Amino acid sequence: MHVAIDNASTGHGAMARRAIELYLEQTRAELGEDAMQAQWERIWNGYVAFATTGTLAADMLKRRLHPPTVADTVTAMVRERAPRARVNHGQKRLDGMLINDLFADPAKLMAALVDGGMIVPGDADNSPFFSLLTPDGPMYKVFSDREIETWKTWVRSLPGVPVGEASPLPAAPAERMAHLIDTMRGRQKGQPAHQATTLTGPDPSDSSKLVSKPVAWWFQQPTKAFMQALAHENSDWIIAGDAQGSRFVTDLLDGKNAMARALSGVAPGSEGVTWATIAVEWISNGCPMPGGGTGDTRPLTLLSPPDRVAAHPTGKVHGTGSVH
């Protein structure tokens, strides 16, 4: 091993060779020929590895002078888990693309996390992605605590919207709720629960009729039509004016399901208000609709005030409203 810098016949090289010969002879005498050959193979492999390190020194220097970025580390984590992850997400989508397909390109997946609203650039605390990693989330223990911190470091490194430049959230409950639906429209694609859960409300093409369709279908309708369906008395999910008596709040927002996690994030431009709070405020205010009116779709009568008649999705009057 020292032949390049020493005398191979009498110097350190010769001493090293003689040490190996003595060691192998002792191994053969004590443990047999097979054991000796196994030790010789180990020694020979070490010698060959030492002699053929190629550009190891240059690579180590490059790595020391130009260490991998946190984005490189996150990319490596995604690539490492891709073989299993790309078959575990079913029809769930992110930014309109199947999550399973995105694992073929880690950089594209990371960009979709941002574009799909799961990662808030510069703000790890309010990024919905991290709620998936909690003990109640579907990705619990997928990453170690150290790896999660690396994810957060990456999120904090992303350029966010400067303070004061984020679009402020609308003040009116109706517009806030509409903004919530518009924001979640892209995220909800591929959610099995939205395909299985039916919602009944006024038909967007003919408000005089009711139609029962999956929640996923309602997400594809005009925002106001979806809100009217949520607020309709036949929906069985919301009681206008009574948030705590509404199943939408007690069964969904207060639970440990995917919707509760999705709406637990802070709405951008809201100064700390969560999406769940926005939904509760909308219900508590009687489910108002964008542009005026409310979501109160109780049957109209001759005694109904003009403003409720004007805001009603059907406008049909049934009876006088009192015993006569």
pLDDT band of residue 190 (cuts 50, 70, 90) is low
Check whether residue 265 and residue 306 sit in a common domain. yes
Q: What pLDDT shows up at residue 46?
A: 85
- pLDDT, average across residues 192-221: 87
* pLDDT at residue 186 greater than cutoff 90: no
Average pLDDT over residues 223-242: 88
Determine, yes or no, domain membership for 322. no
pTM of the model: 0.57
For residue 273, give the 3-state DSSP assignment.
coil
pLDDT of the residue at 307: 64
- Mean pLDDT throughout 294-313? 62
Residues 55 and 179 grouped into a single domain: no
299-304: average pLDDT: 69
Same domain for 291 and 223? yes
Same domain, 250 and 122: no
Say how many Å lie between the first and final Cα of the chain, rounded: 112
Q: Residue 163 — pLDDT band, cuts 50, 70, 90?
A: very low
Asked whether residue 324 is domain-assigned, the answer is: no
More confidently predicted of 119 and 308: 119
Q: How many CB atoms lie within 10 A of CB 246?
A: 25
Closest CA to 188 of 274, 278, 92, 275: 92
pLDDT for residue 236: 82
Q: How confident is the model at residue 311 (pLDDT cuts 50, 70, 90)?
A: low
Q: For residue 1, is it within any domain?
A: no
Q: Environment class of residue 142 by beta-carbon count within 10 Å: exposed (0-12), middle (13-18) or buried (19+)?
A: middle
Host domain of residue 17 = 12-64
Amino acid identity of residue 302, one-letter, is L
Q: How many residues does the chain have?
A: 324
Give the residue, 46 or 167, on which the prediction is more confident.
46
Across-strand partners of 212? 200
What is the reported pLDDT for 164? 47
Q: Tokens 């790595």 correspond to what residue?
A: 63
Q: Does residue 219 sit within a domain?
A: yes
Mean of the per-residue pLDDT values of the chain: 82
Is 181's pLDDT higher than 60?
yes
88 compared with 171, residue with greater pLDDT: 88
Backbone angles phi and psi of 101, in degrees to 5: -70, -30
pLDDT of residue 312: 56
Whether residues 137 and 33 share a domain: the answer is no
Residue 268 covered by a domain: yes
Three-state SS at 25: helix
Helices (H), 92-197: 99-102, 106-115, 145-157, 173-187, 192-196
pLDDT score of 324 more than 50: no
Res 165 pLDDT > 60: no
Q: Which residue has the higher pLDDT, 236 or 32?
A: 32
297 and 179, same domain (yes or no): yes
Tell me the pLDDT tens digit for each residue of 257-300. Answer: 778 877 887 777 777 788 889 999 999 999 999 876 555 555 66
